[in-house]
Structure 1
């Protein structure tokens, strides 16, 4: 056996990332990895080139790319003219993924329409579930019967107000590994956007809750990127804590992410204003990705030292990158990974922290890995 070659087990150990021999064989079948040479004993033998290619595959897979996407990416040389064609292929694949998401969203909406019902709707809900089993939808008349079932279920909404907490309990995944304060924060974020899938994108540093409570208890400065975010904050509770709000982009006519992004780049005084925020403040970014990028750079250069950064700007390239930078700064943070975000979510996050502090000032559940709810 060539000493420079690796067996399949040695290959997976060298690549890491949870790679297994079974996955390597699967990649061979898909054409992601070329078939290796064989030893006299018929063992697969791999080279450093195979290690590098597998490392790229694992890295791209961890970033969320599907295997067929990865194959197209790896098969195009960086300097080749076919890069344009690759972009077209990726656009087509993106549209296909979005179509799948749309179909899954429809399924989720149908399930939410049933599971999200409170106890006032349970009688008619049980009738609907029973009739769904018997429903024949092969004809147009059958489809009409399905619509009638939903209409009957929807008729119950006129008899009482919606019980948000009860609905959420049926829809939320198991959050028992999180503290009660974190559960409240996540629930409020879900209610702010109406999308339970947001939970998987919410990222908190381990010390975020503790840092927020310490800062807010000390009447810290609250710095937001736009006046739209400031208007959504619970100013009554913030005043109770002695926290004053400062707006970076203090132009009342700037109300969208596009406007905030352009304005922050064009006016240097707002970038200079960021460098003057108080030590131990809470920074809340809900619109402009460039604000969060500048925040991360200032923290990295030790020009500012906030107690907590709530970073939830909107955007399709800069925003996800800025959030990744935030999570690498080593400071307490709360963010929503990817393109999701917005001023309403950013303000909701801070409002939930403020509410929890005022309602339960002596709660220490967030200091434990497993919550004992009796303490709160």
Structure 2
């Protein structure tokens, strides 16, 4: 959508925080490159106002502009004030004026992703009310144990690690640490520029699409959100369930198809469990329907797993796989967490 502009509509406040946060959201969306340009606008107090934001985008030659009110629900602002500013009738959703198409979207609504943010904030607040010294002490002990384990892994794999780039070594260490299986070091295949592609995608705020909730559970989404990215999974989406039933395909394959339809270009796609998801993704890439930044594929099993990873390795997309039938969600999580650590500037160990 390189010819579409996006305007976020906020209320406005005499304090600076509302505008600052809305501008941060706009920056995150701009980095995702889904829209040509992203602007903020306000109803009261703050500038620019809605007409000013629209005019600013229109001057760039953009002929289609989407406005999203950043409110939880419909109310006077969304039902009356904003439509009046846009010159919309209540029953209309699109206005064409001066050759520019204005599309007025819905407020945020009761979205599960917002509920997750609220839950995270609440849990964080509860943690702050507890004994901070004990919490820090617990983290320090955990980090010491992790670093000790990594040191042991490095001793076991010293010959192997000397032969690979440092960033690759971080991934190998994490995988062996997560599985206690040094043999996986020989089966891990990292394509050229895969680490660079993954780290750049994380830093640019790209989303991470996973095949199953087990993979999502293993990733620290709070750290990922620091870069502006989110973890998405469609395995339990009603649309995927219906698609699987209608097309007689697995839910994992249907979920991957849905993810691509929703927009997976530039994302990191992690398949830790399902061979059919890997096969489906490979077919979608071959058809030119999606171009993720990186594919991590580690399905496990004796039926289809090895072949599905071979299918991924034959793509022109950067990839990280585990050859053969071995793998699993824990391996996929370890690979991604290593990339996340590299993006944060780490070397595979944790600060004490």
Which of 200, 208, 212 aligns to 2:198? It is 212
Q: Deviations over 1:288-319 (max 9, x none)?
A: 10000000000111111100000011121311
Task: Tell me the equivalent position of 1:232.
Answer: 218
Instruction: Name the count of aligned residue pairs.
Output: 193
The question of 1:169 aligning with 2:154 is answered yes
After TM superposition, the structure 1 = structure 2 runs for residues 218-257 of structure 1, keeping only pairs within 5 Å, are: 218-250=204-236
Q: Deviations over 1:297-348 (max 9, x none)?
A: 0011111110000001112131100111111112100010011111111111
Residue 269 of structure 1: how far off its partner (Å) = 5.0
Give the conservation status (yes or no) of the 8 Å contact 1:213–1:357: yes
Task: Tell me the equivalent position of 2:259.
Answer: 274
Residue 189 of structure 1: how far off its partner (Å) = 0.2
Give the conservation status (yes or no) of the 8 Å contact 1:279–1:305: yes
Residue 287 of structure 1: how far off its partner (Å) = 0.7
Task: Tell me the equivalent position of 1:286.
Answer: 272
3-state SS of 2:305 partner: helix
Structure 1 gaps of 5+ residues are 1-159, 253-262, 364-376
Distance in 2 (CA, whole Å) between partners of 1:324 and 1:267 is 18
Q: Normalized per residue, which structure has more helix?
A: 1
The question of 1:350 aligning with 2:327 is answered no
Structure 2 gaps of 5+ residues are 1-143, 239-247, 348-352
The question of 1:327 aligning with 2:319 is answered no
Which of 190, 193, 200 aligns to 2:176? It is 190
The alpha-carbon distance between structure 1 residues 314 and 268, as it changes in their structure 2 partners (threshold 3 A), is: closer
The alpha-carbon distance between structure 1 residues 319 and 240, as it changes in their structure 2 partners (threshold 3 A), is: same
The alpha-carbon distance between structure 1 residues 299 and 180, as it changes in their structure 2 partners (threshold 3 A), is: same
Distance in 2 (CA, whole Å) between partners of 1:307 and 1:299 is 11
Distance in 2 (CA, whole Å) between partners of 1:244 and 1:294 is 22
Distance in 2 (CA, whole Å) between partners of 1:329 and 1:199 is 22
TM-score under structure 1 length normalisation:
0.48
Give the conservation status (yes or no) of the 8 Å contact 1:185–1:352: yes
Give the conservation status (yes or no) of the 8 Å contact 2:253–2:277: no
Residue 161 of structure 1: how far off its partner (Å) = 6.2
The alpha-carbon distance between structure 1 residues 169 and 208, as it changes in their structure 2 partners (threshold 3 A), is: same
3-state SS of 2:344 partner: helix
Residue 177 of structure 1: how far off its partner (Å) = 2.9
Distance in 1 (CA, whole Å) between partners of 2:151 and 2:252 is 47
The question of 1:296 aligning with 2:282 is answered yes
Distance in 2 (CA, whole Å) between partners of 1:168 and 1:266 is 37
Residue 169 of structure 1: how far off its partner (Å) = 2.7
Is the radius of gyration larger for structure 1 or structure 2?
1
Give the conservation status (yes or no) of the 8 Å contact 1:264–1:291: no
Task: Tell me the equivalent position of 1:260.
Answer: none
Moved over 6 A (4+): none
Give the conservation status (yes or no) of the 8 Å contact 1:227–1:251: no
How well do the aligned residues superpose, as a CA RMSD in angstroms? 2.5
Task: Tell me the equivalent position of 1:265.
Answer: 250
Distance in 2 (CA, whole Å) between partners of 1:358 and 1:211 is 15
Q: Deviations over 1:3-57 (max 9, x none)?
A: xxxxxxxxxxxxxxxxxxxxxxxxxxxxxxxxxxxxxxxxxxxxxxxxxxxxxxx
